[in-house]
Structure 1
Amino acid sequence: MLKKLSLLCTALALAGCAATTATSTGTATIKRDTYGVPHVYANDVRGLFHGYGYVVAEDRLFQMEMARRAVLGTVSEVMGPNYVALDKGSRSAFTPDSIKAQMARLPPDEKAIFDGYAAGFNARVKEVLAAKGTLMPKQFIDAAFEPKADWTGYDVAMIWVGTMANRYSNASSEIANLRLLNQLQKAKGDALGRELFDQIRWIEDPLAPTTVPRSGGQRQAAALPANGSAKGDDPLARLVPVSPELLASRSDVDAASRGVAEPWQRPIASNLWITGPKKTSDGSTVLINGPQFNWFNPSYVFAVGLHGAGYDVTGNTPFAHPVILFGTNGKIAWGATAGPLDVNDMYQEKLNASNRYEYLFNGAMRPMGKRTEIIKVKGQADQSLDVYSTVHGIVTDFDLPNNTAFSMKRSWDGHELESLLGWIHSMQAKNWDQWLAQASRVAITINWYYADADGNIGYVSPGRLPIRPASQDVRLPAIGDGSMEWQGIRPFKEDPQVFNPAQGYIANWNNQSAPGAVSDGGNYAAADRVNEFITRLEAKPRLTRDELWAINRSTAYADTNARYFVPFIVEATRGLPATDPAHRAAQILAAWNMENDDPTEQGAYQSPATTIMMAWLPIIYKQLLADDLPPEVFAAYSNGGYAGATQVASIRPGNGSKLLYNALLGPKAGVPQRYDFFNGADKNAMIRSTLAQAVSELTAQYGSDTARWRTPVTRHVFLTSNFIGAPQANADELLTLPSYMNRGSQNDKVVFSAGSVSMCTAAPPGQSGFVAPDGRKAAHYSDQMALFKDFGCKSESLTPAEVDRNLESTKQLAY
């Protein structure tokens, strides 16, 4: 490895770059720019990451302390009994011994990444403890506990495991899908219920947009599995129904982490678009990324530059991971969105009737593995948690009324640090092949994107894809008795990927990655929000840089339902008299730019079309679906998909919109419409009647003047608890902007042009979350809010000269 670092130093010609041992000592230089972004310079890996850990603790000490506690399950130790459930969920989502064993196997130069970061973090904590009156973040004082200088490399790794791997690769919808099938069959009978299930939870819609163009996909479209083998065996018949108690009283986060998430509850967020030289007016290559993690104070992402020891990279990364997820090294640029691959399976285990902790496997009852976690609770006695496991993985749920349990098998178990190191070393890549080689190390599911100075663009969705038996229905749990075991892992070349697609661009908004790439929770459809990007990218043969950046604004306010239904509404009302209320409403919709915005900040969306669409959708959902779906199933499809009083992280077409659009397409739909939701009625008549009902209700609410049909805006909120639910700032630090924007938690743009590279970013609220003991906030606490609100971005300093031109401070740090 030291030889590799020396070669990298030579190739990069980095000032001061040297390959030294992990135990060397020296001085790191920290330079901050006028937005407070730190650039760390050091001669060896340990020193570089020591500086990184130090600046993180300067800017985000309380946020990172609570992130560590959230992923390790120690929040209730300092925050009390209200967080015991959160801690139990975290403790049962990973196996500590596995992560520690992976850490122990690291070579010294890679271990130095984690240990150096931890040492730098601890160095800053010691400074804070020595000067509490000025340096202790106020949040610690208010919560009545202090940070400890006890971070280890394990803690650094676990921040990534808990906030990236476990957040985006640990979900499954298989149990929820089985429950849905049970509900439909109970209501409609076995055959009709199964038919309806296939129409609601299809395997693949060939009309669904894919990031790897359908003409260039490596894999064939997936088909429904056979219901029985040649011997007449139907695996579905061996699945025990799910008891209602199993899915009761679960929060979305808990459901996603414990394997019972509905598709719309799974953590799916982030968008990206890249254009190559043939798609831009000036021949440049432009990468724009908007990872959507929800919005938080402090910012979900941390900005940093790392320079030396084989690294020369600038960008942003969530929770200050020891890798920059959105950035550039001057030769290439990269980004990411949530991954779509099916890397998990739930296994339904048959339990011993006389011992719930024994399960059937390969013809014999086996004892479950067990570990006991002790959870310290502030002001109360310790609590214990028993975590059980089978040969398939951690037991997520006991369904005792049915004498079954569910365990989650994850293809990436034991490969967490290998995945992270692939990501870390991808920052050193100089071309597609080097970058792709690091992607091949990644076991979790994630979408990776690439652009370089030579005008190349690319995409890969890495992850360890299991080879499943042909009899397994990927939508449903597998049988845990040994008859449905994986048969290996697919080679990396079968992961979705494309390099320089003929269309000249790559776009993603968590849509299907490639033809045939399906999962238990994707339900990818022709009605997909990524079409907001595709439509705008296809509008002109070439686009300017400004036009490409402007897509960010228009898609942030785009009504993700409108483009699918306005044409049907216009057609259905075409023959109505001009005075007919439904016809007038249709004309308002036809003239609409299909954006929900409030440009003059009056507190209401600008167009009455917004109000009409939001009112009409729930009405037609009910008219179309309520008589065909059990009430508990219909309830899940009744939401229009808009940000309401309770802001959601990322909006998309409503839960019922996919079913409605397919029904309207009829025989032209990609998903066969064997079950007629219209029940023989004319679709145009239903559109007219439901639109008339919406107009009637709006008239009663607002009056006959349609200009007064203005829906109040949803404000854009920056939450003070992290996505796991642990506080990361005081409640009075909640920040807002006037209007909700469906865009990245941060946005970055990298442009390669004529031998040069530039990058600009916006990552609100600001670089620092520090609040002094007396309540004063750091200078860079919220100085990116206005930038974000106005769709601006700040230029990043990518070279030493640029850093020095924008210099705010310099610090020397011994390590």
Structure 2
Amino acid sequence: MGGSQKVPDTQESQTVFAVAGLGAPVEIRIDRWGVPHLYASSRQDLFLAQGFNAARDRLFQIDLWRRRGLGLLSEVFGERYLEHDRAARLFLYRGAMDDEWRSYGPDVEPAARAFTAGVNAFVELCRRQRELLPREFELLGYEPSLWEPSDVARIRSHGLHYNLGEEVSRALTLRDFGPQVEELRRVREPSPHRLRLPEGLDLSVIPDDVLRVYRLATVAPWAAPSAGSPPPSRAGLDGSNNWVLDASRTATGRPMLANDPHRALTLPSLRYLVHLTAPGLDVVGGGEPALPGVSIGHNGRIAFGLTIFPIDQEDLYVYRTDPEDPTRYRYGDGWESMVRVTEQVPVRGGNDAEAELWFTRHGPVIRRLPERNAAFAVRAAWLEPGMAPYLGSMNYMGAESAEDFTEAMRAWGSPGENQVYAATDGTVGWMPAGRVPVRPGWDGTLPVPGDGRYEWAGRHEPGTLPSARGPQDGWIATANQMNLPPGYPNAERTVTYDWYAPYRYRRIAETLESRHDWTVEDCVGLQSDYVSLPARSIQPLLSGLTSDDPRVAQALEMLRDWDARLSADSSAAALFEIWFRRHLRPALLRSALRQLLPADRAEEALVRILPAEDAAADARVDLGLLLAPGDRLGPDPAREVRRIILDSLAGAFAEAESLLGGDPGSWQWGTLHHSLLRHPLAELLRERTGSEPEWASVGPAPRGGSGDTVGAAAYTSAFRQSGGATFRLVVDVGSWDESMAMNSPGQSGDPRSGHYRDLFDAWAADSAFPLLYSRPTVEEHTERIVTLRPAPEGP
């Protein structure tokens, strides 16, 4: 297991900066893996130094984060981004900042002020010392901006938001094809769950593009298809694994915690590892570089790690508008006026543009359809005070005990999270948290009329969510699966009906349960486990099947004798993934749809219900049709299953030959499945400068896994990995220096740094490096020291 070779930074090994606002010097020790360890004499100085250091390593990334979130892309990139800027502004927090800061408690606003002051100090330094400015600013011809403390709280559209897309997908499928087709699109849990069309909802009025503005706001514009259509929903791409083991399950007799969040693969990484030390606080782990604090890690007393707990925090409201005035909508017995907000959007190379924003009592208006006397708005819990994504981690990262930690989590807002924790006293536990709206008499699975019949009635109290501590089996794991315990009254206290597929969790569970001698290295290995439970479930169906087609016979032999591991060097893995996703799945769904619809309508419906190619997808519908088809595949389902398997294998084998050559013995999954990281503005850099810098790409590297494996690796139609865990953490509770981490491609976002891509190869090889904690160990592995000193006061 080990780390990458030491790569010296391009700057001096010792650097001193004078920083305005510091009360005393702060020492930053950067270890050989690029992790900064910050030592300050006060929390004020610590968070100011965190902001300065985040800008030192990630200035272009966090500047872009701020511009995208505030709707200021057009100011530097031109009018093509006006739609994105208008959309982002619709989804800013627009309440009183006093209410916002108060929602987090007394410590968050001072930390945000210090953090943004630190960012600004580095921006000002770059303006004086141009050599410190990241290359992107020079190539694209603009300057980094100064921050306001409110920026870290007002920006909400970078969070993880899902349910609105599911509501609309359900509504459009019901509108066009009916409830039986919707049952083939997605599984709902807890089951059984019958869809109930809200009284007064006219499905026909909902346009196909109703979520265009919402998606422009919540998905980065550089993730959009080149054709200019709005980016797709990212549902299914973002997930996570985590688990805790108590002392009875480990070789050391100490608890362990593991966490590997799954997000889109980016350059630089979404997360940033940092160690923050000041009187009363000594925390190390990962957070988002634009925010103060740490959200995943440990503080020397308790370790903590999160996965998505997919609370339904969104609703689409459908309004009947006044034929005489489309800015008025029916509410109760009368008409209510929308609120109009007009803002000026600066545009590079042109005049400022006017952004006209409309709001109802429920939230931002994302679509108006005056020709149908209709309008549509989003109500989102994450637009309420105290709901800035991950900012609430400031309240728990200093917890001194399991009780402190769980009490702090009661105030957590967004996104919904499964938090697992492990303390030095041996306590391990699970606590889901997040704001759960109360929907009296309705469940949030479909859009609802906005006329007052479907209002939220506050929120469920935090104590109403289930939790666990001291598990009898000695372990707890979550992987976004439906983990409400038996008897939980979801009909009365609905969390959601849109959970992730259970396969990652089931594989983690069977593996954790199999032994009592877990080590840190073993947990790192499990984070990259590539066993496909869908593949293992399908293999028994291949037993006894024969074919006169030699290619199909060979395919059957390859898959029957395979260990169901999607290893990068596996030929059977390559065949299975080509077969399952590109041939078997559509064949099964097509057969089921033809029992319900005429052939031409079945093909139209197939396009609607096939999972997005680059999402993690969900094999539950496919496996249900294969293993328990009932009458969904016609009067002789066993015969139909055999036909589908054999016919689709023929097509898959032929495609594998065209992609990988005629010798199946030479096929490898990693030849197709790969990671290639791209700078978000690579294309714009090429457009502006005539060429693309070498550092705008990292990779490619062969990869194992899929969206169904613990080592999550969702991929596009071109087999390029689109999602997964570039950040991983395993904590040895109580022997902190034995902990391991990964943050690919590197800690720095500055292409001139030796830590820009130094971890990519180790990550691609499923390795990890030591996450250091004790001062002597940090000093032993220090590569560079950055000292921040108070700047002399000006005249």
> Which TM-score tier does this pair reach, normalised by the shorter chain?
0.7 to 0.9
Stretches of structure 2 lacking an aligned partner (at least 5 in a row): 1-19, 222-229, 705-712, 714-723, 791-795
C-alpha change, 1:422 and 1:195, in structure 2 (3 Å) is same
How many angstroms does 1:70 deviate by?
Answer: 0.9
C-alpha change, 1:24 and 1:482, in structure 2 (3 Å) is same
Give the equivalent residue in structure 2 for 1:337: 307
How many angstroms does 1:305 deviate by?
Answer: 0.9
| Pick aligned residue for 1:791 from 766, 772, 777 | 766
The 2-side partners of 1:661 and 1:42 are apart by 55
The 1-side partners of 2:769 and 2:554 are apart by 44
The 2-side partners of 1:636 and 1:521 are apart by 22
The 2-side partners of 1:197 and 1:696 are apart by 27
The 2-side partners of 1:106 and 1:595 are apart by 45
Which shifted more, 676-685 or 355-364?
676-685
C-alpha change, 1:751 and 1:242, in structure 2 (3 Å) is farther
Q: How does 1:317-356 map to 2 (within 5 A)?
A: 317-356=287-326
C-alpha change, 1:381 and 1:532, in structure 2 (3 Å) is farther
The 2-side partners of 1:108 and 1:768 are apart by 31
Which shifted more, 174-183 or 516-525?
516-525
The residue type equivalent to 2:140 in the other structure is A
The residue type equivalent to 1:811 in the other structure is V
How many angstroms does 1:329 deviate by?
Answer: 0.4
Give the equivalent residue in structure 1 for 2:677: 718
Indicate conservation of the 8 Å contact 1:560/1:652, yes or no: no
Q: How does 1:762-781 map to 2 (within 5 A)?
A: 762-771=742-751, 777-781=752-756
Give the equivalent residue in structure 2 for 1:739: 702
Indicate the SS of the match to 1:635.
Answer: helix
How many angstroms does 1:267 deviate by?
Answer: 5.6
How many angstroms does 1:633 deviate by?
Answer: 2.9
Q: How does 1:91-110 map to 2 (within 5 A)?
A: 91-99=89-97, 102-103=100-101, 110=108
Q: Say whether 1:468 aligns with 2:439.
A: yes
The 2-side partners of 1:440 and 1:276 are apart by 23
Q: Say whether 1:651 aligns with 2:624.
A: no
C-alpha change, 1:704 and 1:609, in structure 2 (3 Å) is same
Give the equivalent residue in structure 1 for 2:591: 624
Give the equivalent residue in structure 2 for 1:163: 158
How many angstroms does 1:443 deviate by?
Answer: 1.8
Indicate the SS of the match to 1:48.
Answer: helix
How many angstroms does 1:106 deviate by?
Answer: 8.1
Deviations 1:552-608 (A, max 9, x none): 2223xx4463133222333xxx264799765553332122122333349xxx77664
The 1-side partners of 2:662 and 2:392 are apart by 61
Indicate conservation of the 8 Å contact 1:714/1:740, yes or no: yes
Indicate the SS of the match to 2:364.
Answer: strand
Deviations 1:186-222 (A, max 9, x none): xxxxxxx33443564554255xxxxxxxxxxxxxxx7
Give the equivalent residue in structure 2 for 1:210: none
Indicate conservation of the 8 Å contact 1:616/1:690, yes or no: no
Deviations 1:225-263 (A, max 9, x none): 6x5xxxxxx7345434244453487896657799x9988
Which shifted more, 382-391 or 511-520?
511-520
Q: Say whether 1:509 aligns with 2:479.
A: yes
Give the equivalent residue in structure 2 for 1:131: 129
Give the equivalent residue in structure 2 for 1:749: 730
Deviations 1:50-109 (A, max 9, x none): 110111111111111111101111011111122222212211112344457524898875
Q: How does 1:128-277 map to 2 (within 5 A)?
A: 128-132=126-130, 134-148=131-145, 150-158=146-154, 161-164=156-159, 167-168=160-161, 171-184=164-177, 193-198=178-183, 200-201=185-186, 203-206=188-191, 223-224=193-194, 235-236=198-199, 238-247=201-210, 265=235, 268-277=238-247
How many angstroms does 1:535 deviate by?
Answer: 3.2
Identity over aligned pairs, percent: 23
The residue type equivalent to 2:743 in the other structure is A
Give the equivalent residue in structure 2 for 1:307: 277
Indicate the SS of the match to 1:797.
Answer: coil
Give the equivalent residue in structure 2 for 1:682: 637
Indicate the SS of the match to 1:342.
Answer: coil
How many angstroms does 1:706 deviate by?
Answer: 4.3
How many angstroms does 1:446 deviate by?
Answer: 2.5
Q: Say whether 1:695 aligns with 2:657.
A: no
Which shifted more, 103-112 or 436-445?
103-112
Give the equivalent residue in structure 2 for 1:758: 738
The 1-side partners of 2:636 and 2:234 are apart by 29
Q: Say whether 1:436 aligns with 2:406.
A: yes
The 2-side partners of 1:104 and 1:545 are apart by 39
TM score, norm. by length of structure 2: 0.82
The residue type equivalent to 1:452 in the other structure is A
The 1-side partners of 2:347 and 2:776 are apart by 51
| Pick aligned residue for 1:707 from 651, 657, 665 | 665
The residue type equivalent to 1:735 in the other structure is V
The 2-side partners of 1:410 and 1:390 are apart by 12
Stretches of structure 1 lacking an aligned partner (at least 5 in a row): 1-21, 185-192, 207-221, 228-233, 643-647, 668-672, 772-776
How many angstroms does 1:312 deviate by?
Answer: 0.7
Deviations 1:479-526 (A, max 9, x none): 211112223321111224222333322223322242455979854477
C-alpha change, 1:730 and 1:46, in structure 2 (3 Å) is farther
Indicate conservation of the 8 Å contact 2:201/2:448, yes or no: no
How many angstroms does 1:688 deviate by?
Answer: 3.9
| Pick aligned residue for 2:624 from 639, 654, 662 | 662
C-alpha change, 1:80 and 1:690, in structure 2 (3 Å) is same
Give the equivalent residue in structure 1 for 2:394: 424
Indicate conservation of the 8 Å contact 1:526/1:658, yes or no: yes
TM score, norm. by length of structure 1: 0.81
Indicate the SS of the match to 2:537.
Answer: helix
Q: How does 1:520-539 map to 2 (within 5 A)?
A: 523-524=498-499, 528-539=503-514
The residue type equivalent to 1:767 in the other structure is Q
Indicate the SS of the match to 1:67.
Answer: helix
Q: Say whether 1:486 aligns with 2:456.
A: yes
Give the equivalent residue in structure 2 for 1:455: 426
Q: Say whether 1:802 aligns with 2:777.
A: yes
Indicate conservation of the 8 Å contact 1:73/1:86, yes or no: yes
The 2-side partners of 1:289 and 1:253 are apart by 30
- Alpha-carbon RMSD: 3.6
The 2-side partners of 1:280 and 1:130 are apart by 53
C-alpha change, 1:415 and 1:380, in structure 2 (3 Å) is same
Indicate conservation of the 8 Å contact 1:760/1:794, yes or no: yes
Indicate the SS of the match to 1:273.
Answer: strand
Give the equivalent residue in structure 2 for 1:6: none
| Pick aligned residue for 1:406 from 368, 372, 376 | 376
The 2-side partners of 1:526 and 1:811 are apart by 45
The 2-side partners of 1:487 and 1:158 are apart by 24
Q: Say whether 1:287 aligns with 2:245.
A: no
Indicate conservation of the 8 Å contact 2:37/2:276, yes or no: yes
